[in-house]
Every structure is written in structure tokens, then in C-alpha cells.
Structure 1
Amino acid sequence: MTDRTHVPAPSARATSAASAPSLDPGAEFDRQVRTLTALGYPALSGRTPEQFAELVAPLRAEAVAHAGNGAGDGDGEHDPAGTGRVPFVLVVTRELAPIERTMPLTTLHGGRLPGFVDRTFEPGSLERFVATEEAEPPGGNGVHLLFDVERGEEFCGVVPHDAMAALAERGRSLLTIEEGIALMTHTPQILVKNKCFSLGGSRSGDRRVPAIWISKRAPKLGWCWAGNPHTWLGMASAGARAAARP
């Protein structure tokens, strides 16, 4: 029988809220909207920049309110302490922007080479990697917020199946493919050597677990088996998701 990899206990926060740089959630939300606009997300979604801004605008109040309750405390957009934590991320799902079009818009921090989808995704397979029931995007209009995001390097070397179970016990939710791409888009410095992450919130009914790691000096969307651990691959998760209030 193969020994099961030890699942770590919840790690202490590397930076306390008191010592972490303050984050202006409104300004950070606006920055993320500008990033998406500059990358061409309005056109990908069939909208003008003004229409796209109108679509996501109601989420700004959610970002500010959630951060005001403490969920926004942390290391801000640049993660200067290298904790792998991001207070919130503005997500555009495949209903508005196809994964095949958004992944190439990602880059490594300071890099120029575009991200890519690994060829091991056979034609048509990405469509089968859909959100699990627990990770279902809220709202239904193709945009939402993801709060208290961690890339999950504590699970490097842990069997993905065990990592997913441990996070479920903590009440955390696994990231979908689109949420992983959003995390890379807004915070490219989150992906570093030996601290890459799986995206267990998207599954296709088999043993494959999507993941983003570094390959050929660029971000790559690939997959690994749920029973195979990798020393350089953790499990990304979030504390909550939110849509705009009616």
C-alpha cells in the first residue's frame, strides 16, 4: 500500500492584519477593472469598455463592504511579504470570455511570454471541466468576486485528493479554472517557482485536476492526477464568493 502524504495543519498567517500594509479596496477594484479593460476583456465579452464597466460596477460595493469587515486585510495586490494571499479578485467566467482566449493574456511577473493551455487538454475537453457544485459561480451574469484567496503552497507535496478534503474541512472553497486565470491576471507575482497551484473547483468527472504552473518561462494551464502529489504544486482556495446584490 502506498503511504498517504501528510496533510499539514492550518498554517498561521505569515503577516498579521496589524502589520500588513493597508489596502484601499475601492482603488484595488478600480485597478482590476482597468487591467481587464486594457487586456481586451470588454471586446471578448461582446461589450464596449463602458458597457463592461457598467456590468462590473455593482461589485465594487461588495468589495468595499467585504474588505471593511476584515476580509480585505492582507498583503494587497503586490503581496510584498510573499505570503501567497490576495484579499479579493474580480473574476470573469467563460460565459463572457473563453478560457482559450483569457489564458494567453496572462504572463509571469516581469515576463513577456503569454500563458498557454497545455496540449494534453484534448480538443473539446476544456468545456467538460466545469465548476463543482461547491464552487459554482454566483450571480449568473458572468462576473463575481472571490475573497480571501490563498495559492495554497502548504499543500505542495500533498496528494491533491487529500488537499481538497482538508480544505473542505476548513470550510474553504477550491478555485475554478477561470478563478485561477483571474488570480494570475490581477496578481501575476502569485505564481513563482515551486509555489504553483491546482484548481480543484473545476472537474470533468475523471481523476484529472486542473492546475497552473510555470513552463517555458510562461504560465501554463495543465492538469495532474488527483492521486499524484507534486512538490511544486499546492491547492488554491478562497474564503468566499460574492455577486452583486440586487
Structure 2
Amino acid sequence: MPDTASAAVTPLPPLTSQAERLIELGVHELAGMTADDLRAFAADSAAAGSAPAGSADAGNDTLLAVHPGRVAASALAPLLQRDGKSGFVVVDMPDVDDFAPHGIDLPEAPLYLVTGVDRGDRMANWSPEEALPALTEEHRSPLLLTEGIHWVLQQPAALERNHCFMTIGSRLRKANGALDTRTPAIWISNGSGRDGRERRNAPKVGWCWWGNRHTWLGFASATGRRP
């Protein structure tokens, strides 16, 4: 069994700080909005108040996200940083932006909140096929790939060696109607194979098979989403 005794992921910054981080990275421009749009949404959401104490959404585990229809995973991935190295998408995933929300109702707004974010370390060494029904039973929703990238942009400590995560809320529907058996994940490159040695320790957007298990990958999820 894998060692799941990782350091606890520290709380997310306040929503207003998250907005400033996205502005610093230029995400607002990628999404076709202004810095003031981001600041206003974050301020209004913060003013609306946090979840009641003791609830699943209490604490700083709420993530500010841009709708995937406004900014794609391929545009967000290079903004990731670790050890001075930029994030990247694996070369055998040129269709990364075709992975879309599956079985998830997103708010119809350019910006929204993802509540109760969790890395899912307890499910390390589970397959996506095993994890999805378990998350559903727990009334949790798997993160989208873009949400996972947003999380690491805001909280780099969410990604650590031997404790990375899958984002199985994003799936690819093939032309014949069947779901592609690849499932997206975010982890840290070893600099081997086609990644290249220069990318060792860089954040990596890749994929795993629907039925395979990996000891270093949990399943990131949330309690919900709201505008």
C-alpha cells in the first residue's frame, strides 16, 4: 500500500487574494475579461460570507475558478510553476482541451466557486473506475482538469511528490459516442521519456487509463460549485 502520510495541504488564500493571483498570471486576459471583473466577483463572493461553521464548506477550502469555456487547460498549464519550471501538457495529449465536464452541472457564469476542495489521498492506488462511485456515494464531485490547475496555481503545495491527483470530472466523448478511456491527472514529471530531462520536477498535465491504479495519485473532488 502507498504511504499516505503526506503533509496536510494548507488552506487556500482568501478569494480576493486568489483573484489577484489570477490577475498577476494574466488569466483574466486569457478569459476575455478585465481585472476589475475578477476583483468584483471575488469581493462580492467574500462579502456574501463563508459557509456555516462545522459544515463541509467551512474554512478556506473554496476555490475561485474560471469557467473552462472561457479559458482552456492548454492555456492554464504553462502558468504552473515548480522549482522554477513551467507546467506542460504531455505530448500524447494534443486533444487535452476536448476533455469536457462529464456528469457535472457547472454554473452558467464566467466565474464560479468550487467548495470543499480535497486532494483525495485516501483513494491513492484506486482506479478512476473504482473512485467515481465512491465519491458519488460521499456526495462529492470530482474536479475538472481546469479546476485542478486553478487549485495548484493558487496552492502549489497541493501538488507534491507521491501525493498528486486525478481530475476525472473531465472526460472526452469520442466520435462514436463512447467515452475515451483516458482520464486527466496532474502530477510532477520525473524528466524521463518524452518529457525530457529539462522538465524534471515540472508540473505535468497527463492522463491515465480508466481502469488503472497508481500509488501516487489520489482523486481531487469538491462538495459543490456555485456562482
What TM-score bracket applies, with the shorter chain setting the length? 0.7 to 0.9
Contact 2:120 2:221 in 1 (8 A): yes
Match of 1:130 in 2: 100
3-state DSSP of counterpart to 1:65: coil
* Equivalent position amino acid for 1:229 in 2: R
**2:170 corresponding residue in structure 1:** 202
**How far does residue 127 in structure 1 lie from its aligned partner after superposition?**
3.2
1:170 aligned residue: 138
* Overall identity of the aligned pairs, in %: 34
Q: TM-score, normalised by structure 1?
A: 0.76
The residue that corresponds to 1:120 in the other structure is: 92
Cα displacement (A) at 1:189: 0.4
CA deviations 1:63-108 (Å, max 9, x no partner) are x23265644545x4xxxxxxxxxx1110112322222111111123
Provide, for residues 132-162 of structure 1, a one-character-per-residue CA deviation record: whole Å limited to 9, x for no partner: 12x2321x12211111111111111112210
1:53-64 maps to which residues of 2 (within 5 A)?
53-62=39-48, 64=49
1:181 pairs with 2:161: no
Match of 2:50 among 46, 62, 65: 65
Matches within 5 A, 1:1-246: 28-62=14-48, 64-66=49-51, 70-74=55-59, 76=60, 87-108=61-82, 111-122=83-94, 125-133=95-103, 135-138=104-107, 140-204=108-172, 205-215=179-189, 216-243=200-227
Output the CA distance in 2 between the equivalents of 1:230 and 1:99: 22
The answer as to whether partners of 1:56 and 1:143 remain within 8 angstroms in 2 is no
Instruction: Look up the SS of the partner of 1:144 in the other structure.
Output: strand
Aligned-residue offset at 1:57: 4.2
CA distance in 1, matches of 2:126, 2:56: 27
Aligned length: 206
CA distance in 1: counterparts of 2:52 and 2:202, whole angstroms: 31
SS at match of 2:165: strand
Long gaps (5+) in structure 2: 173-178, 190-199
Q: Residues 55, 45 of structure 1: CA spacing in aligned structure 2 closer, same or farther, 3 A cutoff?
A: farther
The RMSD of aligned alpha carbons is 2.5
CA–CA distance in structure 1, aligned partners of residues 124 and 45 of structure 2: 33
* CA pair 169-70 structure 1, distance change in 2 beyond 3 A: closer
C-alpha deviations, 1:193-238, integer Å up to 9, x for none? Answer: 1111010100012111100000121111111001110111111111
TM-score normalised by the chain length of structure 2: 0.82
